[in-house]
Amino acid sequence: MAGNIELLGSVLAAAKAENRAALVGYLPAGFPTVDDGVRAVTAMLDGGCDVVEVGLPHSDPVLDGPVIQTADDIALRGGVRIADVIRTVREAHEITGAPVLCMTYWNPVDHYGVERFAADLAAAGGAGCILPDLPVEESEVWRKAAEQHGLATVFVVAPSSRDERLAKITAAGSGFVYAASLMGVTGTRESVGDEAKDLVRRTRAVTSLPVCVGLGVSNAVQAAEVAQFADGVIVGSAFVKRLLEAPDLESGLAAVRTLAGELAEGVRQRA
């Protein structure tokens, strides 16, 4: 079975046709449990997310903040395996029909087997993979397997990426470009917003792929702000936080669904 890169493309194109940004949600698989994680991802899509990224929990998630690290830890303590990640992708896609990607560090994929991982993800109806720590120069083996199985390969760019580097990264990628901003780390939110806006502008200058921004967005106002200049708004920690802070699972699922609805309204406020 081929993956769903075409579905991903059509969903992003449909959002653009509606003159809005797409809403992309993220949750790690196995959190709070494998079964409940499937329900949480489904709730995000039911609430208004266009696309979801299912995270493969990692013991050393160097690019993730404390909220996602906490969720990863819960999933790993629960014994989550790659088969559970694949199952989460499959069930979320089968239940909702939406494009579902896997976001993972490279080491687990390499260990599992590149061809095997691509084949299993595609067979589950996955749309592609986001590989934040895989250098483009070392990605050919993965990209060949992904292309063969109809999967997108999404690379991450950052404000520090020079223009020639952006051209190299985006030429190798497919599906969309993940533009990572450093919100909350450098300067005020306003200046970081400008940094993200500039990154999107520079990225668009070298590719026709949609550019989606992961910016620490946590509410509808911030989603609307990013939607003014990006093709997609990526939200992860805010969803995880809703589940972590909920007194019980049902409250957590309701909170996730509500947040997705609020963010979906936000991305539709494009001028």
Model pLDDT for residues 221-232, shown as the tens digit of each residue: 999 999 999 999
Give domain status of residue 90, yes or no: yes
Tokens of 74: 């819960």
What pLDDT does residue 186 have? 30
Instruction: Look at residue 207 and tell me if it is in a domain.
Output: no
Residue 211 within any structural domain of the chain: no
Identified catalytic residue from 50, 53, 84, 195:
53
What's the predicted TM-score (pTM) here? 0.94
Residue 213, SS3?
A: strand
Q: Annotated catalytic residue: which of 50, 64, 72, 84?
A: 64
In a domain, 209, yes or no: no
3-state helix, strand, coil in the chain (%, to 5): 55, 15, 35
Q: Are 68 and 61 in contact (CB under 8 A)?
A: yes
Residue 100's DSSP bridge partners are: 52
Provide the domain count of the chain.
Answer: 1
**What average pLDDT does range 206-219 have in this prediction?**
92
- Does 8 map to a domain? yes
d(CA 84, CA 36): 12
Rounded CA gap, 119 and 25, in Å?
24
CATH number of the domain within which 135 lies:
3.20.20.70
Q: Give pLDDT tens digits for 64-114.
A: 888 999 999 999 999 999 999 999 999 999 999 999 999 999 999 999 999
Residue 176 located in a structural domain: no
The answer to whether 53 is a known catalytic residue is: yes
User: Is residue 205 domain-resident?
Assistant: no
Structural domain contains residue 260: yes
Q: Say whether 124 sits in a helix, a strand or coil.
A: coil
- pLDDT at position 168: 97
Range of the domain at 141: 4-158+216-268
Distance CA 197, CA 238 (A): 21
